[in-house]
Homo-oligomer: A and B are copies of this chain.
C-alpha cells in the first residue's frame, strides 16, 4: 500500500468542512494535514476552533492541527478540498489553482468556467479530460474541479439514464431541501419549524443550468462542454428535514418509451469500469425502489454510506411522459463525499501523478 496523499481542507470548520474532515479520517488514499478557516479561528487547534455539528467525534489526527488562515498559503499539500463560501471561493480558488494546487471545490465559483469539469465519476467520467485543456490554458500543473450543486445531484442520475436511452427534452423539477444544505448556523429554527420556505437564493438558476453542463459532452477540441440540449424548470423549497434532498421530477422524453423501458433504463444504470473501484464509490450509484412511499429522506439518505441516489415513485405523467422522485444525501453525495469521489477518480486516472510525487516528498 502506497503512502496516503497529504491534503488540505479549506474552510474546515464549517458544516461541509467538517464532513470533509470526517470522511477523510479513515480514507485509504488521503490524509488531512492542513486545515484552514477564517482569521477568527486561525492559530487555534482545530478541536478548539470548530463547533462540531455533525455526527461522530472530531478525528484525532485532525483535532490537534493548527488552523491556518484561509487567505494564506495552505502549505505543502498537492490537493485541496474546498468548502469555502461562494464569494470567498471566487476570490481564492483560481489563485490556488494558478499556484499549482489541485482544488476540488464544493462551491459554485468555478462551475461555469468552460474548462473546469463538474466531475461526477459515475455520471460523466469523460469530463475529466477538461483538466488537460485547463492546465494548458493556465500553464500550471494544478487544476480545478467543481462539484454539482447539492440539489442537482439527485436529479442528474435518472436524467442521465433517460437521456441516454430516450433523449430528454424537458424536465420540471421541484425540490424539498434539507436544512443542512444551508450550512451552519444556516437556517434559523424560527423560520423552519412547522414551516416551509419556498425560496433558496440562486438555487433555481443553478438547477436549471448546471445539470445541462454535467450531462453534456466534451467538445471536439476538448476545451469545454457542449451542454445537453434539454430545458429545465426548477422550484425549490427548504423543509424541516436534517439531511437529504428530495427532488420531484417530471420528464418529457424525445422518444417514446414504455414504463418498463424507463424502469429498465434506471435499474440497469452502469458505472464506467475505471470508476467502479474508487474508495468512495457506493455499491450502487442509483437504487430504484418500488414501494409506494419511497424514497424518504430519513430512511434512504444513508444508503450506500450516503453515496447512493434512491429513486422511486416512477409513474406515467399525464402532462409529460414520466414522473419520479429522487433522494440524495446533500452533505455526503451532494457535497463532501462527491468532491472526494471526484478527486479519487482524478488520482486513479493519473492526473495527479506528478504533483503527488513532489508533494509527498515535500510533506516528509
- CB-defined A-B contacts under 8 Å, sample of 16: A170-B319, A176-B237, A179-B189, A180-B190, A184-B190, A187-B189, A189-B189, A193-B241, A194-B194, A194-B298, A196-B296, A198-B248, A198-B293, A233-B250, A235-B325, A242-B298
What is the copy number of this chain in the assembly? 4
A193 to B298, CA, bound (A): 9
The count of residues in chain A whose C-beta lies closer than 8 Å to any C-beta of chain B is 57
A231 at the interface (CB under 8 A from B): yes
Q: A191-B53, A319-B233 are in contact. Are A196 and B176 (CB under 8 A)?
A: yes
Q: A188-B187, A195-B296, A195-B297 are in contact. Are A239 and B242 (CB under 8 A)?
A: no
B196 touches A239 (CB 8 A): yes
A44 to B200, CA, bound (A): 25
Question: What are the nearest 5 A-B pairs in CB distance?
Answer: A185-B188, A233-B319, A174-B174, A199-B293, A195-B298
Q: A233-B318, A319-B172, A319-B233 are in contact. Are A190 and B186 (CB under 8 A)?
A: yes
A121 to chain B, nearest CB (A): 25
B323 touches A235 (CB 8 A): yes
Q: Mark A290-319, 1 if CB is under 8 A from B, else 0.
A: 001111111100100000000011000111
Chain B positions within 8 Å of A292 at CB level: 199
A331 to chain B, nearest CB (A): 11
A237 to B174, CA, bound (A): 11
A171 at the interface (CB under 8 A from B): yes
B198 touches A246 (CB 8 A): yes
The B-contacting residues of A in range 180-231, CB under 8 angstroms, are 180, 184-199, 208, 231
- Residue in chain B with minimal CB distance to A235: B248
A196 touches B235 (CB 8 A): no
Chain B positions within 8 Å of A319 at CB level: 170-172, 231-233, 252
Q: Mark A326-357, 1 if CB is under 8 A from B, else 0.
A: 00000000000000000000000000000000
A189 touches B193 (CB 8 A): yes
A50 to chain B, nearest CB (A): 12
Q: A189-B179, A189-B186, A189-B187 are in contact. Are A198 and B235 (CB under 8 A)?
A: no
A179 to chain B, nearest CB (A): 5
A240 to B242, CA, bound (A): 12
Residue among B171, B174, B176 making CB contact with A239, cutoff 8 Å: B176
A170 to B232, CA, bound (A): 16
11 additional contacts (CB under 8 A) given A195-B299, A235-B323:
A53-B190, A53-B299, A172-B172, A172-B319, A179-B189, A185-B191, A189-B189, A199-B292, A231-B318, A231-B319, A235-B325
